[in-house]
Every structure is written in structure tokens, then in C-alpha cells.
Chain A
């Protein structure tokens, strides 16, 4: 016994240590679970509107206008099982009415009154000539999905549509294809030009000594806070006299100009934090400023370049104001960008908002693609291994 005791004590210590270890691990796992749960919830909440829009864009016009997008999923809904049951005659608005043993006011009957757990009666029509409908709670879903919206929105040609009574009518499609291509033609150069110029400028501000460097940089930073709207009129006047108005070159320059201060500032912040020794080493190795810029600065600045590219791309893609002012001359719609076409669509027929769902989704696809395409360049630890051990 005297020998067993210490080993027993040791055992229990070991046990308590083990359980402590286990509970610590459990706590860690629990907290990881909570974090993941919260993240999942956030992602879910953020994704729902996109999903709703996506589903809506495939639903027929009638469905979009009468029920929500979630009705495409199986759900319980009141379904009419008996349509034309006669109404009790000689009732008045201010007296309670009794039907099937349930008593309610007329206003309540018109909204539907439940007579048992899964049956309700609803009063359709007016007090004297209406009818009663019996509805039951049933599992149902609304599976009709169609490409009609997309077809009508994308192509610029005419469409023959059939009414329920068999007659046909013609609808002019919205031709977003042209707008889509115009948007690409505006956005891609408007993203690349300021990035290239700003990267050069940022390198100069960060690593080259020239008189007035500080003052010039302060001017650039100060331009950040100037609203672009104040420049619209003077630039438009200059564009008109230079015959740049309504041209792609004009809008590229406008977007590049408006984007440059932020681009320069952002890239300066990144490039100036690159380790000085790397550049010095390159200079001793025989590199010129240009070589250093091309061979070292650009490859090492990829994360900053990618993040600014996303910003600028989204801003130009979603821009309406600048495009409207510099591309919106006359009624020539051939050079209008996507945002303008979508706005025109809503303006010309506000009732057709089922088309808006498709148009909106088309305009979302490119920014999403750009974001997912460039996000892999947000590499952490790109500088790892260059300095220190």
C-alpha cells in the first residue's frame, strides 16, 4: 500500500494535467467553432441579396411581380382549393359575419380568416357580389425559371411575345451587349493608365531626390480631397474645344486624372516601405532607376497594384456621372456605357423592373470576376526572405 500511494498520486496528477490539456484544447476548438460560425453567418447575410437578385433575374415577369424570389424554394403557402363558394347575402360592413361557425368583421374576412389549423376562408370581391375562396396551407414551390429577361436585355433586336389570349406583340430588346462592351472599353484602359503613371510617380516620390519633391507630393495629397464634380465643367469645355468630347480617349483621360491622386498616394505608401537595402544593393549591382523600377519595384508591389486595380476598376465600372458627362452627348446610344443603358432602361419603362434584375446581374458579373481574379495577388509575406533571418 505504501508503495501504491505515491504512484496513485502521480496518476491523479497526470490525470488532472491531461484533463487540463484536454479542456484547453476543447476551449480552443470551441472558440474556433464560434469564430467560424460568426464568419459563416456574415458571409451568408452578405450573399443573400446577390442570390435573390440572381434568382429573380431568371424568373418570368409575372412571377417577379407577384411573389418573392424565395418562393422558388419549397415552402408552405396558402393554396386555393375551392374557388367560388357563394357569399352569405345581406351582410353589412359594421356587423360581424359568421361563416362556417367563425365570426369576424367584413374587413377581416377580406384578408382571410383561419377556420382551423391549416384552412382559411378569404372573401374576394365586394360585399354584395363577391365570392368566398377556401385556402389550405400546403407545401409548394415555384419552379419556372427562364432566360427571357437576359435575352430581352442583352440583344438589341425585336422580340415577338405572346399574350395569354394568343395575340402577339413586339418588344424592342435593350441591347446591353453594346453597353457592356463599351464599359469594358472604358474601364480597362482607365484602370491601367493611372496604375502605370502612379507607380512611376510613387517610385519617384519615394526613392528619387529632386528639388520640390515634398511640395509636389503635398499637392498630390491635397488633390485627394478635391471633389471631382468641380472639375466637370472646365474639363467638358476643354474637351469640346479639343473635340475629345464623347471619345474613349477623353473618358480614359478623365478617369485616369481623377484616379491618379489616390493611386499615387496608395502606391507611394507601399513602395516607400520596401527595404532600402534592396534598392541600394541593386544600384551597386549596376541597375539604373528604370531597371530598379521594372525588375524590383513592380514585381514586389503586386499586392498594392492589385488592390488599387480593384478599387479603380470597380469605381470606373460603376461610374455613372463621369460617363454621362463625357460620353452622354446627343442621343447616340452606341457609345453609352452599361450604367447609362441601365438607367435609360429604368427611365423608359419603370414598370419593367424584372429586366432590371437581369441587367443588374450582368453588370455585377465583371466586378465579381475582377475581384476573384485579383484576390490571389494579395499575398502576405511577399517580402519574406529578403531581409533579416
Chain B
């Protein structure tokens, strides 16, 4: 049981900086997900924490101990690799017992722990098999089992699900979440899959190009992305972006994309007022663009009309690929929507859920305001 702290962590390979001044505090028993596109430095950060990579600059703490110069075996961590990294010449039992044997744990204790873990993971009947006789999902469980028998302070997982097929991945996701609740240990989990991140993490750290973009709960990341990268990375289909300009209209502020305009009512316009006249990026999630005929009653609609280019029937919803004035965007609409390719459709954008970013800094203009709003909502 321990917290983990990354303090000004830098990793350089020669002139190439892959992790740039990373600061993260992971509380005890937290499930933190490091997520980002490939090459963003998430695996490198995890490997530095595991002691498999040198730290170029900064400090990593496990609990309150600086572990920069502590060998991997003395950090009391366990790691599950993407490739599982099972010992191919040992049985499942020996794979799981290996770490305990090296630590000179008494034989009866090893036996009890391995069997308990195997029972917990549903792999008791596989203990005498070798890795090559196991399916992908079973190997993955053995790899997890090898980690849990050691009772580590911190669990590290480096994309442990990416070698599983889609169905197994969904099962394994909930299995790992359950494991976290059961073990009450700190988990740090690396993935490039934002669905995994959103479903499993108690908090998510989004990384890009070696820099931390935002670290927050899944809810906050989704509803209040700090910058354009996070806004575009979290959510599927991805957020629609429009180049726009802010204009003043009496008490309210108007976002003018050149194709359509959205009027932000006076009571929501406060954070934008000081930016009137600026070039901005308007972000709207596909699920916040409704078919006007089925729009929810409680939203503040901004009308848009567009041509339908592609219709994807998902059953529970319809995904529309739209075009208007040379600009393409995506909407997720009510399943009752009557959509025909080539037809025009009347849409309504939910004004309360738009995101506006400064075009230069790419930062969200209303970040602080929304943060306060979410905090207020949580307190009520």
C-alpha cells in the first residue's frame, strides 16, 4: 500500500526528450491510468517507475522513499507486461512461485499463496501446464497471478489487454477493475485505448509528446477537457472542431464559424467575454448535436442545418457524417431520426456542452468556470 509520486521527471535518449517534466501524484489505493497515443512517453514513465529505465532527471517516490537508485527487485512492485513475459520453460505454478522462491519464502506459504491466487483467478486447473498450452486469456491471467502472489505495494500494468481479442478484452477489463477493489492496492495502468482508460481509471493522466496534458477523473476529462488534445483524444467518435471567431451581441457572446453561429446566452457567456474578437476553436461532441425533431427538452438549442453524407445505423443511435459549407462533422442522433444520404437535416447543438479553445494556446477558455461548476454539482 503506497502512494507514488513523479516529481519533475525527465527522460532523454541522447538529444531526444521522451518524457518532459512529468509531475503526477498517485494516492494510495488509487487506479491511475496513463493514456496517450503511441510514443507519448507513457510506457517509458511506467518503466522508470519499475526501475527498468534510468531516470534522466527528477525523482520518483514510492510511499515517501525516493527510488531513483533502488533496484527493481527492491521497489516492491509487480508488473504485468503487454506480452505477458511468462517463463516458457516453467509450469504455471512455477511461473507464479518464481518471485516468492527468489525471496526465500517458506514452501508452505508459497503453496498457499499460489493456490489462493489461482483460485481467485479461476486458473487452478492450469497450474501444471506450461504457457504454450494456454490460450491468450489464460496467459494474461497467469501474468496477473504472478503479480498478485507477491503482495506488491504497487501494481504496474503495461497495456495488458492489447493482445486479447475484443470480447476477452471487455471481460478482462471488469476483471481487473474487480481485482483493484478486492486487493485495495495502488494500480498504475498504461494504455493507448481511451475506452479502457475511461472505464477502469479512478483518475486518468493524458500524455502527449512526453508532456502531461491533464490529470483528472474520467467525468471531468470528458466534460471539461483542458485543451484541444484532450478534447479530441477522449470520446469516440472524436469531438468535432470548427475554426471560429467570438463576437459580442449585447449581453451574450456569439461563436461564428462562418457556416453557422451559436449564441451563448448571457448567464453562460462570462468566461468568454474577455476573449471577444479572438480566433478560437469550437469543439462540439457528436452526442451534443441532436436531430431537431428529437432534441431533449432541457437543452439550450442552437440551430444548424447540414447535408447528410453517410448514415451509420448503430441500433441504439444513428451516426451521421454531415457536411455544411465545406466543413464536415459527425453527429450521434436519436435512433428514430429519419436520415437519408443526400438529404438535408435540421440539427440542434446543445449550447451548454460546447467547448471553446484559444486558437493560439489551444487551452479551454472556460476551464476554471466549468471546474467550479462541476465541484458545485458534486457538493449538492
A 363-389 to B, binary, CB cutoff 8 A, 1 in contact else 0: 000000000000000000111111111
Q: Give the distance in Å from the alpha carbon of A389 to the alpha carbon of B141 in the complex.
A: 12
A 272-310 to B, binary, CB cutoff 8 A, 1 in contact else 0: 000101101111111110010001100110000000000
A277, A281, A283, A385: the one within 8 Å of B133 (CB): A385
Q: Give the distance in Å from the alpha carbon of A282 to the alpha carbon of B102 in the complex.
A: 10
Q: Give the distance in Å from the alpha carbon of A282 to the alpha carbon of B150 in the complex.
A: 13
Segment with Cβ contacts to A, from B83-91, B223-231, B336-344, B362-370: B83-91
SS of B interface (majority)? loop
Q: Give the distance in Å from the alpha carbon of A257 to the alpha carbon of B271 in the complex.
A: 78
B136 at interface (Cβ–Cβ under 8 A)?
yes
Q: Are A389 and B132 in contact (CB under 8 A)?
A: no
Q: Are B81 and A277 in contact (CB under 8 A)?
A: yes
> What are the residues of chain A within 8 A of B183 when measuring CB–CB?
none
Q: Are A286 and B88 in contact (CB under 8 A)?
A: no
> What are the residues of chain B within 8 A of A382 when measuring CB–CB?
88-89
Q: Are A284 and B77 in contact (CB under 8 A)?
A: yes
Q: Give the distance in Å from the alpha carbon of A284 to the alpha carbon of B76 in the complex.
A: 8
Q: Are A281 and B79 in contact (CB under 8 A)?
A: yes
> What are the residues of chain B within 8 A of A296 when measuring CB–CB?
87
> What are the residues of chain A within 8 A of B75 when measuring CB–CB?
284
Q: Give the distance in Å from the alpha carbon of A311 to the alpha carbon of B341 in the complex.
A: 71
Residue of B nearest to A387 (CB): B83
B 73-112 to A, binary, CB cutoff 8 A, 1 in contact else 0: 1010111011111111100000000110011000000000
Q: Give the distance in Å from the alpha carbon of A387 to the alpha carbon of B86 in the complex.
A: 7
| Interface hits, A10-28 → B, CB 8 Å | none
Q: Are A284 and B98 in contact (CB under 8 A)?
A: no
> What are the residues of chain B within 8 A of A288 when measuring CB–CB?
73
Q: Are A280 and B136 in contact (CB under 8 A)?
A: no
B135 at interface (Cβ–Cβ under 8 A)?
yes
Q: Are B139 and A389 in contact (CB under 8 A)?
A: yes
Q: How big is chain A's contact interface, by range? A: 20 to 34
Q: Give the distance in Å from the alpha carbon of A374 to the alpha carbon of B103 in the complex.
A: 35
Q: Are B88 and A385 in contact (CB under 8 A)?
A: yes
- Could you say which of B82, B88, B163 has the most chain A C-beta atoms within 10 Å of its C-beta? B88
Q: Are B50 and A284 in contact (CB under 8 A)?
A: yes
B188 CB to closest chain A CB (Å) equals 14
B52, B73, B131: the one within 8 Å of A285 (CB): B73
> What are the residues of chain B within 8 A of A295 when measuring CB–CB?
98
Q: Give the distance in Å from the alpha carbon of A261 to the alpha carbon of B210 in the complex.
A: 42
Residue of A nearest to B86 (CB): A386
Question: Interface size (B, Cβ < 8 Å)?
Answer: 35
A285, A387, A389: the one within 8 Å of B98 (CB): A285
> What are the residues of chain B within 8 A of A277 when measuring CB–CB?
81-85
Q: Are A285 and B150 in contact (CB under 8 A)?
A: yes
> What are the residues of chain B within 8 A of A386 when measuring CB–CB?
83-88, 131-132
Q: Are A283 and B85 in contact (CB under 8 A)?
A: no
Q: Are A280 and B88 in contact (CB under 8 A)?
A: no
Q: Are B99 and A286 in contact (CB under 8 A)?
A: yes
- Asked if A285 meets B88 with Cβ closer than 8 Å, knowing A384-B132, A386-B131, A388-B163, the reply is no
Q: Are A291 and B79 in contact (CB under 8 A)?
A: no
Q: Give the distance in Å from the alpha carbon of A300 to the alpha carbon of B71 in the complex.
A: 24
Q: Give the distance in Å from the alpha carbon of A374 to the alpha carbon of B84 in the complex.
A: 31
A283 CB to closest chain B CB (Å) equals 5
> What are the residues of chain B within 8 A of A381 when measuring CB–CB?
132
Q: Give the distance in Å from the alpha carbon of A385 to the alpha carbon of B71 in the complex.
A: 28
Q: Give the distance in Å from the alpha carbon of A288 to the alpha carbon of B103 in the complex.
A: 11
> What are the residues of chain B within 8 A of A275 when measuring CB–CB?
83, 85
- Could you say which of A282, A283, A285, A295 has the most chain B C-beta atoms within 10 Å of its C-beta? A285
Q: Are B132 and A385 in contact (CB under 8 A)?
A: yes
Q: Are A284 and B79 in contact (CB under 8 A)?
A: yes
Q: Are B131 and A385 in contact (CB under 8 A)?
A: yes
Q: Are A299 and B85 in contact (CB under 8 A)?
A: no
A376 CB to closest chain B CB (Å) equals 16
> What are the residues of chain A within 8 A of B63 when measuring CB–CB?
none
Residue of A nearest to B89 (CB): A299
A287, A291, A383, A389: the one within 8 Å of B88 (CB): A383
A229 CB to closest chain B CB (Å) equals 41
Residue of B nearest to A298 (CB): B89
> What are the residues of chain B within 8 A of A278 when measuring CB–CB?
85-88
Q: Are A280 and B52 in contact (CB under 8 A)?
A: yes
| Interface hits, A43-87 → B, CB 8 Å | none
> What are the residues of chain A within 8 A of B132 when measuring CB–CB?
381, 384-386
Q: Give the distance in Å from the alpha carbon of A291 to the alpha carbon of B133 in the complex.
A: 25
| Interface hits, A229-280 → B, CB 8 Å | 275, 277-278, 280
A280, A287, A383, A385: the one within 8 Å of B102 (CB): A287
B145 CB to closest chain A CB (Å) equals 13
- Asked if A300 meets B98 with Cβ closer than 8 Å, knowing A281-B81, A385-B133, A387-B83, the reply is no
B229 CB to closest chain A CB (Å) equals 30
> What are the residues of chain A within 8 A of B84 when measuring CB–CB?
277, 386-388
Q: Give the distance in Å from the alpha carbon of A278 to the alpha carbon of B75 in the complex.
A: 18
Residue of B nearest to A277 (CB): B85
Q: Contact residues of B with A, CB < 8 Å?
A: 50-52, 71-73, 75, 77-79, 81-89, 98-99, 102-103, 130-136, 139, 146, 150, 163-164
Given contacts A384-B88, A389-B135, 5 further A-B contacts (CB under 8 A): A281-B87, A284-B52, A287-B102, A386-B86, A386-B87
A–B pairs, 5, beta carbons within 8 Å: A280-B79, A283-B52, A385-B130, A385-B139, A389-B136
By Cβ-Cβ distance, the 7 closest A-B pairs, closest first, are A389-B136, A385-B132, A385-B131, A285-B99, A277-B85, A386-B88, A387-B83
